[in-house]
Amino acid sequence: MKRIVGMLSAGMCALGLLADGGFSVTAGKSTLLVDTNGLSLTPSVAACPASRATGEPFWALLLEPHAVPAVHGQGVVITDAQQGAPRWEKLPDGVRLVYDTLTDGGRVFKIGLMLEIRGAGDAFTMSGSVTNSAHGWLLTGFTGPVLNGIATDLSRTPALLPEGFGKRINRVPAPDEKQREWQRLGNNYEASVVYPGVRGTMQWFALAGREGGLYVGSHDPLHRAKQLSLRYDPSSKRFGMAVRHDFFCRSGESVALAPVVIQPYAGSWHAAARLYRTWFDSVRKLRDVPAWTRDTSGWLLCILKQQNGEIMWPYTSLDKLCDVADARGLDILGLFGWAHGGHDHLYPDYIPCPEMGGVEALKKGLKEAKRRGKRTIIYANGQLQEREATEFWRTVGKDIAITRRDGTTYQHTYHKYRNIPVYRFDLGCLYAQAWYDRMLALAIQANELGADGILYDQLGMMAPMACYGEGHGHPVPSMAHEVERPVFLKRIADHMRQINPDFIVMTEGLHDCALDAISMFHGCTLGTYRTSASEMLVRLRASRVADPFPELFRTVFPEVMSTIRVPTPMMDRDMVNYTCVYGMRYEIESRYGPDVTYLREDRVPESDDYVHVVNKPDVTMMQATSPAEATRYLKEAIDFQRENAAFFWHGRFVDSQGFTLTGKDLVAKGFTAGDRFGVVIWNPLQNVTPFTLEVPGYALESASEPGRERVDPLAPMAASTVRLLRWKITSTSPKP
């Protein structure tokens, strides 16, 4: 422990002066030391891992020559270890460090850096700003704070990362193990997520033990680009946690650094989830979703016309699609490939296709779907514009494509069939007015056609990227798919609400800065993919390096609706049960010709039926269950959820909080609903499994299962079944 030679007290927090020129800031009973060796955290919570400075930097500034065209390979990294002692000022709750200039050990840069480290409650917050007066230099990012020297054991204190719906890191990689979750970082390893995008859906992560842990969250109301990194040094067997902020700061500009909160907490990881949600609620609102949306079981995603021009579902067959959805209990039709170009072709020109029946047949089909009680969502890709082939690209789009620093554009391909050409797409820059105008026009068109919403595909997917395009309405360079993306989505959603309050905006993927615009997500992320019983059992063992951990996002944002992702025209019993227990919304997909004969004629395809298809559906899954049985069980499970919508659709997912379950290899999740509490249990095993369940403060009322309205609540669980046990509050004990 460092020797504190002086104290400056103010209220609950105190600033200590260390013998070697460092500082100590207190928050609650925790202490954060700042000195020439870095940051050291002495937490007040026994179960929170401590951090001991190792001499490695606790911040790093990244810069490069601001040359046009840009020059690669001349980046400079400046760290605290290269600087002399900063000026410091005492704050009421901490300390401000001021570096008037910065050096890389040789050169001196006219770059000012100010860092504030404050303690409040049980949390430490580091924030600050950087001012670039260095002519000819461009600042490209700041890493900090960095906590090093964290001694912990992932088997007892796993790391939770916000990739997709969540990921749990259970252990470090073995030396000979193929690196996937962990990437090499010099001699060390790093497991990281990039926010905001599908691989970084929230701005926090944690080392989360059973009794407590360490929360690190960037409380950045602007939701700017950043990377959250868990690090591991195999030689010392110590961990690190770092936040890297990605931005551009030109000479003459300043950037405020997003606050980063370091907070020891007691209890399960749900306490950390509450810390983030409490902050989130202080800066942002979730979208007020139209009532109909909450009452939907999920959707039938249907590609009407494919990339090769094959028409599978003409507009005159939408009633048949309603039949397919009805047989399975699905409430929404997601209409993809509905325009003249087919799926992933000729975007963003979306013209009702004469060969499919033309605009009047489409309107009639959508009206018929409405009469049948279905909701319809019309597709538009939120970023893709096909090069050369579309009028939009030729006249407008090529000038608003997201551009790399070498002047080329970021290009995507989505090749669906081996025997057709590969179409190339640029990405529309969301800053550009022309892109906004086209996307809004498509929403207005969807509403006028009679649809209940629009899906902007892919806008929940991409990580931010640098755009060097001129004339897009942003400084050059800027991060794209970053702060402008939620603004873009919300403007459209708000505009459409004025026209039709029931019209919704959906997107594919997930990230929390879109929550005030998006009413429902089309899942395409960790936690939404097909999960078998055997996969679930592996997760319960926590034996792999990492596991999907959908509990994470579901607990922070239980109101957020997302479909699961099964690009196959059926799902098996395991996936039905998985979707049910996690409270997600269903989907099946009709993508290719053999999918249509499966859905309309119960004909089970062979893999060869998809001969030219690049990414085939899960034929093995389709062959393992008869179409009639797959249809029957999905419908039965959805009917079961509809009957218990108070829990599944209107209730609040609380994960494992509020009840105690014993029973080997069972998955159980809680849902609160007013004075009721529901526990849904899934037995993924192939054998009958007994269990006990206690919900303190509640009395057991009844239980049911799909197809069984009344069951003995505490009877052993039959193989591969789900059950909902309904409890009623009996006391005023606090609800979870």
Specify the stretch interacting with Zn ion by CB under 5 A; choose among 222-230, 350-358, 411-419, 425-433: 425-433
Number of residues that bind Zn ion (CB under 5 A): 4
Rounded Cα–Cα distance for residues 91 and 395 (Å): 56
List CB contacts of 44: < 8 A, sequence separation 6 or more. 28, 29, 30, 122, 264
Specify the stretch interacting with Zn ion by CB under 5 A; choose among 61-69, 75-83, 429-437, 643-651: 429-437
Q: Which of residues 226-255 bind Zn ion (CB under 5 A)?
A: none
Q: Which is nearer to Zn ion, 383 or 641 (CB)?
A: 383
Kindly state the tokens that stand for 287: 């979208």
Phi then psi for residue 604, to 5 deg, are -80, 125
Q: Choose among 203, 219, 126, 133: nearest CA to 162.
A: 203
Rounded Cα–Cα distance for residues 23 and 126 (Å): 14
| 252: alpha, beta or left? (left if phi > 0; alpha if psi -120 to 50) | left
Residue 253 identity = E
Kindly state the tokens that stand for 241: 């946690």
Residue 464 near Zn ion by CB under 5 A: no
Rounded Cα–Cα distance for residues 301 and 80 (Å): 52
Specify the stretch interacting with Zn ion by CB under 5 A; choose among 159-167, 193-201, 328-336, 428-436: 428-436
The one-character DSSP state at 570 is -
Burial degree of 323 (CB within 10 A; 0-12, 13-18, 19+): middle
What are the CA-CA distances from residue 530 to residues 571, 588, 599 (Å)? Answer: 8, 11, 19
Q: Which is nearer to Zn ion, 49 or 469 (CB)?
A: 469
Residue 468 C-beta: closest distance to Zn ion, Å: 8
Phi then psi for residue 550, to 5 deg, are -65, -15
Residue 482 C-beta: closest distance to Zn ion, Å: 11
Q: Which is nearer to Zn ion, 427 or 533 (CB)?
A: 427
Number of Cβ atoms within 10 Å of the Cβ of 491: 14
Specify the stretch interacting with Zn ion by CB under 5 A; choose among 83-91, 471-479, 700-708, 711-719: 471-479
User: Among 290, 469, 583, 651, which residue interacts with Zn ion (rule: CB under 5 A)?
Assistant: 469
Residue 428 near Zn ion by CB under 5 A: no
Rounded Cα–Cα distance for residues 727 and 714 (Å): 12
Kindly state the tokens that stand for 32: 């954060």
Residue 392 C-beta: closest distance to Zn ion, Å: 16
What are the CA-CA distances from residue 401 to residues 131, 246, 629 (Å)? Answer: 30, 21, 48
Q: Which is nearer to Zn ion, 262 or 467 (CB)?
A: 467
Q: Cβ(474)–Cβ(467) under 8 Å?
A: yes
Residue 464 C-beta: closest distance to Zn ion, Å: 12
What are the CA-CA distances from residue 263 to residues 55, 192, 203, 218 (Å)? Answer: 22, 19, 14, 11
User: Among 118, 226, 472, 635, which residue interacts with Zn ion (rule: CB under 5 A)?
Assistant: 472
Residue 382 C-beta: closest distance to Zn ion, Å: 15
User: Among 102, 467, 479, 679, which residue interacts with Zn ion (rule: CB under 5 A)?
Assistant: 467
Q: Which is nearer to Zn ion, 2 or 472 (CB)?
A: 472
Residue 395 C-beta: closest distance to Zn ion, Å: 18
Rounded Cα–Cα distance for residues 646 and 360 (Å): 39
Residue 466 near Zn ion by CB under 5 A: no
Rounded Cα–Cα distance for residues 131 and 255 (Å): 7
Cross-strand pairs, 376? 333
Q: Which is nearer to Zn ion, 205 or 435 (CB)?
A: 435
Q: Which of residues 156-215 bind Zn ion (CB under 5 A)?
A: none
Q: Which is nearer to Zn ion, 472 or 554 (CB)?
A: 472
Specify the stretch interacting with Zn ion by CB under 5 A; choose among 86-94, 164-172, 467-475, 578-586: 467-475
Residue 478 C-beta: closest distance to Zn ion, Å: 6
Residue 437 C-beta: closest distance to Zn ion, Å: 15
Q: Which is nearer to Zn ion, 221 or 471 (CB)?
A: 471
Specify the stretch interacting with Zn ion by CB under 5 A; choose among 134-142, 182-190, 270-278, 421-429: 421-429
Number of Cβ atoms within 10 Å of the Cβ of 96: 16
Residue 429 near Zn ion by CB under 5 A: yes
Specify the stretch interacting with Zn ion by CB under 5 A; choose among 35-43, 167-175, 416-424, 469-477: 469-477
Residue 511 C-beta: closest distance to Zn ion, Å: 19
Residue 476 C-beta: closest distance to Zn ion, Å: 8
Residue 483 near Zn ion by CB under 5 A: no
Long-range contacts of the stretch 366-370 (C-beta < 8 A, 24+) = 366/318, 366/449, 366/450, 366/451, 367/450, 368/318, 368/319, 368/322, 369/318, 369/319, 369/321, 369/322, 369/333, 370/450, 370/452
Q: What x-and-dash track marks residues 563-602 binding Zn ion by CB under 5 A?
A: ----------------------------------------
Residue 402 C-beta: closest distance to Zn ion, Å: 5
Q: Which is nearer to Zn ion, 241 or 429 (CB)?
A: 429
Q: Which is nearer to Zn ion, 464 or 617 (CB)?
A: 464
H-only helix segments in 508-626: 533-541, 551-556, 573-581, 593-601, 619-624
Burial call 691-724: b when 16+ CB within 10 Å, e when fewer: bebebeebebeebbbbeeeebebeeebeebbbbb
Kindly state the tokens that stand for 54: 């190792």
Q: Cβ(246)–Cβ(222) under 8 Å?
A: no
Rounded Cα–Cα distance for residues 208 and 155 (Å): 10
Q: Which is nearer to Zn ion, 429 or 717 (CB)?
A: 429
Q: Which is nearer to Zn ion, 429 or 681 (CB)?
A: 429
Q: Which is nearer to Zn ion, 468 or 647 (CB)?
A: 468
Specify the stretch interacting with Zn ion by CB under 5 A; choose among 463-471, 501-509, 628-636, 719-727: 463-471
Phi then psi for residue 123, to 5 deg, are -115, 145
Residue 474 C-beta: closest distance to Zn ion, Å: 6
Specify the stretch interacting with Zn ion by CB under 5 A; choose among 46-54, 250-258, 423-431, 535-543: 423-431
- Provide the angle, in degrees to the nearest 10, between the axes of the packed helices 627-643 and 573-581: 20
Residue 409 C-beta: closest distance to Zn ion, Å: 10
Q: Which is nearer to Zn ion, 83 or 403 (CB)?
A: 403
Residue 431 C-beta: closest distance to Zn ion, Å: 5
Q: Which is nearer to Zn ion, 16 or 397 (CB)?
A: 397
Residue 469 C-beta: closest distance to Zn ion, Å: 4
Q: Which is nearer to Zn ion, 31 or 478 (CB)?
A: 478
Residues that bind Zn ion (CB under 5 A): 429, 467, 469, 472
